[in-house]
Structure 1
């Protein structure tokens, strides 16, 4: 990749003693595709539109297993070998052929969390089906409405546009960032966005958000 051709010689020269290996993985910036997956998480790209090739990322927890109701497991004397199936939603059949519904043996799994990160980009509604219903959406808001035309020229978004996208995608919370240095007070972004999408906050350095 272009990035590796630029940075690999520098890493080899200046960072020879790194205790870890730096790996470059080329990803597409014009399509939605999964780029990482493990037992608990998957990460996909979000194609964005900017003056240079850019993409965002969608982080999604995988569906979790149901919670066993221990008293019911003991009551029906269910073998350990059957517990994994019950956690995955299957019913239990006793040795007499009686079907015990899964709802009697387990409780619903914890809801999964989803976070969408949309960095430099012009407003684009094609993101809506990809980020719909996420718990948290970070979206750039470089300009306020007084520079809406400038935002379009530079392929950036306004706070109102970010809030509009959050509203149409029915996300749970929106966080704004990437503000132009021409604004001395970030509160203008929050004010304009909250008029459309009340569940909006402003990104701050070292901020931690639990969801």
Structure 2
């Protein structure tokens, strides 16, 4: 069932290792746990997500990409993905973790998912692993964008407009006042329509204000989940 969800046939021994928590290994006197696979998977996942963000948001600098990555790759987000795959049922736990509902702990689920990614990478290579991970994180990424998490106003509006099939937003900017004290007014245009107006002491500030207002206006057009 898990292999079908992933779209690959993973070796049983590799899957078993990916789901062997240290509490199980300790009680069974086994030396192998999923911690090394988790370490590998964490790095692979980080690279894939970072590359995806780098390509998806070419206008964002590192200071804006970093919090967005954190919004996608964090314990709670990874645990939620693990729950969609029902990984809890596969984790091999010691009795102590078992009786304290370890199968539904965010930390254990996130670790198991990272270990699983490590296993996929080892067996299938980076290209196939990237394909699978992108599919797994797709809804998490989209949810972050829908909330505008980690993104500046213009990028959030651009993603929202694209998702609504309205094309890329444009901005019409006017200025007034002396050179040392100018005021800027930006109108956010989406699909040829003036959606919002923002003002600021710089062109960028005015565009950002207009974009944020337009984002709040247009997000009501998103279909209800």
Per the TM superposition, whether the score is higher than 0.5 is no
**TM-score computed with the length of structure 2 as normaliser:** 0.26
Higher helix share: 2
Higher strand share: 1
The structure whose RCO (Cα within 8 Å, separation 6+) is larger is 2
**TM-score computed with the length of structure 1 as normaliser:** 0.27
